Amino acid sequence: MSVHSTRAMAERAVDLCVALLYEEPSAESVARVLRAHGERAVAEGEPAEDAGDSRAEVMPVEGVRAEGVRAEGVRAEVARAEVVRADDVAAMREAAGRLVEVLAAPGTDAAAGLLNRILAETARPPRLTSHGGASPWHVHVDAHDDVPWAEWFLASSAMALAVLLADHQRVPGGLCASAGCRRPYLDLGGGSPRRFCGTRCATRERVAAHRARA
């Protein structure tokens, strides 16, 4: 599955929401999730060589603001837009809250209304970019290639969730029904709606229900 497929973008959105809202978020933890989803991201102060194998090939592209990141004897050019900072994390947490609200919406109409509001605020005319040849061509709806992480996160995630809502004609996810969890999940199956984020919560709740009956 391409990292630019709609489903991959929605999965990235959910993983980022969990890292930002349900764990102790830091520039490092957020950069790690971004890299796991194929984004070039490096936490402020993090050695750039840890930023994934494609990093070494990244050359500053004309028009992209670039700055040096100094690590132990290693100097790598990192585009400013690729560095995740503490203030990015704070802004991304706000964005994550709005995306979780969409997944928690009581129905398709409510989710569509919330997504339309986010898109009206953050999305611009769709455009194709290859980031100067550094990636395959893919569609962006943020204002330009160098917007802050939070703007990119909110606009691209809302777009992906909107496409999935239209594809499946229902809220494309939900919040885990386990009271101690409440983590967001994607739900793109055709059958009855999912209730839990994963097998661990589903099993725990089934065991608890069984004990309550016994």
Alpha helices by DSSP H, 41-148: 86-103, 108-122
Choices 5-13, 98-106, 119-127, 190-198 (CB under 5 A): range interacting with Zn ion: 190-198
**176 binds Zn ion per the rule CB under 5 A:** yes
**186 binds Zn ion per the rule CB under 5 A:** no
Contacts of 163 (CB under 8 A, 6+ apart): 6
Provide the token pair at 130.
């290859």
Quote the CA–CA distance of 1 and 12 in Å, as a whole number: 13
Give the 3-state secondary structure of residue 214. coil
> 122-161 mask for Zn ion (x: CB under 5 A)?
----------------------------------------
Choices 20-28, 34-42, 149-157, 199-207 (CB under 5 A): range interacting with Zn ion: 199-207
Q: How far is CA 199 from CA 10, 136, 209, in A?
A: 20, 34, 15
Among residues 3, 21, 181, 188, which is the contact residue for Zn ion, using CB under 5 A? 181
**17 binds Zn ion per the rule CB under 5 A:** no
Give the 3-state secondary structure of residue 187. coil
**197 binds Zn ion per the rule CB under 5 A:** yes
Task: Give the footprint of Zn ion on this chain (CB under 5 A).
Answer: 176, 178, 181, 183, 197, 201
